[in-house]
A and B are shown apart, each in its own frame.
Chain A
């Protein structure tokens, strides 16, 4: 029985580089990029709020009545929810800022940047879990 000549070994399929992760670069779409995007957006948001917040606080120099009126708008439900967003923004920005500093200064910082991003998210969630019931209770639960 004549056997067919052995077929040349077919080359093992070579995966496209990093195709298993479905990424075209090491950076785009990864934790590294999103931490940068979030840091930038929260930074600008906090800065703009800070300008408004110094102005509303300056109303204490006008009169107690005017200050109380202006600050009263912070106690409405819509503002209460926006405040919660601002608090989440500072918490993320602050912890991610520490992450950036550790990446810059620790020899092993860059190696752990991805883990540290998830630690930042975790800490933000934990602090917000402590803050939200208290704050939303104050905003929606009456008082005034």
Chain B
């Protein structure tokens, strides 16, 4: 019996797949990252939804003073920062996979992924700056819109 090995077969669509995704190692890391970040996100997102939508008056309680109160505590700053980064990397990588699956033309993939990565950078930079440069007591704002500790 003749032995066949994989190298006897012509690589199907070899030209296309070379441009399609990262190397085997990159894809393995991406695959692992989706799973690890997923488990952490479950805790972060469920905690976020519980505190913001279930406790007290739920959505009705959310206003500037509520956000100011949360982000004056390092605990929630770190929570939200981690959630922002992990969700953005997880989501961007997920959408990258979907683009690779459906966009067959190289040009289309290039355009879609450029838009995706642009959205990633803008959102992550903006979100990070907001969490860390936020002033819960902006001068000149009406006191009834601010967290109660601003009066002190």
Contact = CB atoms under 8 A, between A and B. Distances in A.
Contacts, number: 105
Contacts of B91: 43, 46-47, 50
A75 B54 CA distance: 14
A44 interface: yes
B129 to A, nearest CB: 8
Interface of A: 40, 43-44, 46-47, 50-51, 54-55, 57-58, 60-61, 63-65, 67-68, 71, 74-75, 80, 83, 87, 90, 94, 97-98, 100-101, 104, 131, 134-135, 138-139, 143-144
A97 B86 CA distance: 15
Mostly, the B contact residues are helix
B112 interface: no
Interface of B: 35, 38-39, 41-42, 45-46, 49, 53-54, 57-60, 62-65, 67-68, 84, 87-88, 91-92, 94-95, 98, 119, 123, 126-127, 129-130, 133-134, 138, 141-142, 145-146
A118 to B, nearest CB: 19
Contact of B94 (A43, A61, A135): A43
A60 B59 contact: no
